[in-house]
Structure 1
């Protein structure tokens, strides 16, 4: 009996011990605590089983490394390596918390070959593998305060939620470094990082030499990447952590997607998404692409690369090859030199500018400032060493005072570079040019007046009334536009050609015909600026037409308060942009389901202030009426908010005109400019424009490119 009792007791102790061990294992499967270790062959898995931490050998290698890879990807894809410079021979490796509280790796002999080297360690620290792929070392105090993060010490891969910090005083940051080869994780010769000068841009280096760059960040896109477009909510964001430090993050459009950016051992940066169905990584984009002009500074200083031309290199206007013999041999590295030296002359004989359009702007901008286009031009002219300037929305004035390099001609997109030249390089003697220009203008005016006179019977609305029956002209039965209708206009917003929408324009006589000569029976109502009439277009499409009253031009304010543009309400100035402001208010009302006047007893005096605060805080989606929030298309409704904010800007010149606003709403591919903060809604707007205009979150995505939209 004693023997049986002892056996049952031993069995109970055995089961209890194993149960405790099993419980510890279950509760700590994503964590390494003091006293625990992960030996070669064992693994740590993140809480939602997205990532794995353990020992691995690269393809065609027997050496062992500690790394992190995706759990559900059949082909092992390593995103981080710890001991990349100190591999282990054999399977005796051990990963554990050391006596000083750091995470360490031991080889088969018990030697420490790698450590987190945290400066503030803890006696009770632990390491946790997060579902983001970040390995974090925590101390025994605040569980939210990390002692060390693998995201701060990446290898070759950038993952969503990773922060890439930017610091002007530190200069260029080579954040990610390639493997030496496909089977060797040690540090290779290529790196990927950020150059913060002027405005941040992504750069690939080969050693210390540039291999490729993205062009500067304008708060929406990297302007040197052709075809890049902005969509609200997703993609890259430039954030301010509040301590004067800036950092880039990336948010995928679908949180369940496995997306990574990595710099390969051959110097190619790739963005990839895991395809579950095909069990492979789909390529979203890569840089540099397979064309000569994507290679950094292909044509040397003051040279321009155009992949559609042969040879691909040419000198920019006003410049000639520095070494003609080498240039004709196809060696363009020497670049070009100015054909005629510039002179800082008087105001009357100042230098001029040649417009190089649709180009990747040169590298190493010397000055970035808040000036507008005209001020930027004058600033360049006042500096004898200025060689070119550009004005880019979101960056503003950019000036170069040295050789400009890596200038590339794009098929679409890009920016306009104003290259400074001696006036004689722009078409000869200025006085002769003035005479020619005046002659051409006068001749054009004469021809125009003659045409108007000859066509007067057709253009004059009264002549459309027939003497017989006094009827208005009828539209053709086919529903097509008559000759009185203009064709589709060439109005557009930023975006690749062909991605906008065609907008028909109508002259006065056609609108009059559609409204039966603005008859009273067609009148829908009236406002401070005039009457609104119902009309019928070809194809039985109904329209509403506002006809401005002559009285609307009168030193009194006539209109609905809360919907009037500031320049009209305060100064009595009215323009075609005044109604755009009213439209913007109405658009915000439609999205929110609230009238402008409903905000008068709240913390915000109107809907504009409320909408701006949400936009400024990256919470624009909260403006949407709760009754439609779960059924609406978020990207479209955010686009409506964005357009609304553009329409209610204080200054009329900053607002889009009405056709452009329509295009912005209808075209999904249009890159929208950033709205400016309405000055009367908040006094929190800093006088410092923040040199990158990135003081608020910005976004993008479309699975091809990335960028962001920010409030300013």
Structure 2
């Protein structure tokens, strides 16, 4: 019973100051820190929430759209004016519930159940308890814990075992855990990026897009030991501690730039596929203290297929379609670009040269010690070939023929990529380059 005493202590003053209209037999308002067996939290009551004893975290129904809510945990205070609080966990991110008559209930059998307005079960902990009292409590750490209270408290379930896109300090990340990014800053549904322990025991980042899947961190072109990782472990566990030190069982680790300063922190897999550690500075602003990628264009899939990613400190990341292609979904770069032409059906073809551009992966063939003309001819003879990279490796010029154009970026690559296009599109590309270098003077009207 020790773990539920703080909740009961806080009931007395609340009974004095809150209006009696708030208290109903099914409401959790009597239990601001904990929910007992047989009680519910209703979406109909905006302030029908659980609050951690230190007041830092709140658990309740978070609005994610028009008449759409998710049961969530968030930092109680917004970090800036006119901004929403920072969400750290969601139970039903991909199946929001109705804004009327939906509820979270702690059933007598020990199951915590989220029901939609039609009483259908959207989410549950799938726990069981045959005897003793039950308590669902939001702890100071931001962990939502379901306890069975008969003699020594027994934990039945905790939110820390099922992270969404965020890790909190001292929250263990295990072989059974994963972080899945949101689709965007405003769309909380599951996105295309995932942090998890790979089968080789290495903590990895995966792009799981609409059409392709690829691991992009640690860098896939490096061997495990070259990336400073070890496969020789069997624990598969990682943790960010409260002072800002991160350790993983594959020997990956780091210290955040404000290490040692006592601040609220989160480790988050953002919607752009980058994993970052943020600290709350002055209780007003989340500031990045560490990130896996300084150049976001190295993250796979950020601009989709047949596209090129460029990045600068001043303008940030920018996506654009390769010449001859057009954006597939005007509101979402994840779907990339599609050709304006029908491959192999528009007569003669030629190449445009993209300087210092790499398209990582998806090599259909590797041809060693070839001339540029030989590479061009080999690609022309294959309808599946979209282009090739031509580069000098140690002693030879080699070409890497591509059957897909993914992960294109223009920064820090010494060589060129040649894109195969119908000759009319090659001509328009060359003319655009001429106009860019030597634009025709504009004669003003007199």
- Assess, with a 3 A threshold, how the Cα gap between structure 1 residues 27 and 93 changes in structure 2: closer, same or farther: closer
Aligned to 1:70: 75
CA distance in 2, matches of 1:247, 1:144: 35
Q: Pick closer, same or farther for the CA change 1:100–1:254 going to 2, 3 Å.
A: farther
Please give the residue correspondences for 1:386-397 in structure 2 after superposition, counting only pairs within 5 Å: none
Specify the alignment match of 2:437 in structure 1.
none
Q: Could you say which residue in structure 2 is the equivalent of 1:235?
A: 245
Contact 1:212–1:287, Cα closer than 8 Å, also in 2: no
Q: 1:165 aligns with which of 167, 174, 177?
A: 174
Between the aligned partners of 1:249 and 1:101, the Cα distance in structure 2 is: 40
Displacement after TM superposition at 1:150 (Å) = 1.0
Shift of 1:196: 5.0
Q: Answer with 1 or 2: which has the greater Rg.
A: 1
SS of the aligned residue for 1:52 comes to strand
Aligned to 2:356: 311
Q: 1:324 aligned to 369, 375, 389, which one? A: 375
5+ long unaligned stretches in structure 2: 1-10, 17-22, 231-242, 302-311, 313-353, 361-366, 397-406, 413-446
1:31 aligns with 2:82: no
* Matching residue of 2:207: 205
Following the alignment from structure 2 to structure 1, what is the Cα–Cα distance between the partners of residues 135 and 103? 15
Question: How far apart, in 2, do the equivalents of 1:180 and 1:127 lie?
Answer: 30
> Greater helix percent: which structure?
1
Give runs of aligned pairs for residues 447-458 of structure 1, distance below 5 A. Answer: none
| 1:37–1:95 contact (8 Å) kept in structure 2 | yes
How far apart are 1:51 and its partner, in Å? 0.8
Q: Deviations over 1:111-145 (max 9, x none)?
A: 33221112666552221112221111112346553
Q: 1:90 to 1:250 in 2, by over 3 A?
A: farther
Q: CA deviation at 1:221?
A: 6.5
Q: SS at 2:157's partner residue?
A: strand
Q: Is the 8 A contact 1:163 1:249 kept in 2?
A: no
Runs of at least 5 residues in structure 1 that lack an aligned partner in the other structure: 1-17, 167-172, 224-232, 241-245, 297-306, 341-405, 412-712
Report the CA distance shift for 1:55/1:145 in structure 2 as closer, same or farther (over 3 A).
same
Deviation by residue 1:403-451 (Cα, 9 ceiling, x = unmatched): xxx9xxx99xxxxxxxxxxxxxxxxxxxxxxxxxxxxxxxxxxxxxxxx
Instruction: Decide whether aligned partners of structure 1 residues 181 and 71 sit closer, same or farther in structure 2, where only a CA change above 3 A counts.
Output: same
Question: Aligned partners of 2:98 and 2:106: how far apart in 1?
Answer: 21
1:146 CA displacement: 1.9
| Alignment check: 8 A CA contact 1:160 1:250 kept | no
Distance in 1 (CA, whole Å) between partners of 2:290 and 2:298 is 17
1:192 aligns with 2:185: no
Find the counterpart in structure 1 of residue 271 from structure 2.
Answer: 265
Superposition CA RMSD, Å: 4.9
| Pairing of 1:623-642 with structure 2 (within 5 A) | none
Deviation sequence 1:615-639 (CA, Å, 0-9, x none): xxxxxxxxxxxxxxxxxxxxxxxxx
Paired residues for 1:396-415 under 5 Å: none
Aligned to 2:288: 283
User: Following the alignment from structure 2 to structure 1, what is the Cα–Cα distance between the partners of residues 115 and 161?
Assistant: 22
CA 1:337 to 1:239, structure 2 compared with 1: closer, same or farther past 3 Å?
closer
> For 1:48-63, what aligned pairs fall within 5 Å after superposition?
48-58=54-64, 61-63=66-68
Instruction: State the secondary structure of the residue aligned to 2:15.
Output: helix
Of structures 1 and 2, the one with the larger relative CO (CA 8 A, separation 6+) is: 1
Whole-angstrom distance in 1 between the partners of 2:97 and 2:113: 13
Residue 287 of structure 1 and its aligned partner are, at CA, apart by 4.3
What's 2:158 paired with?
Answer: 149
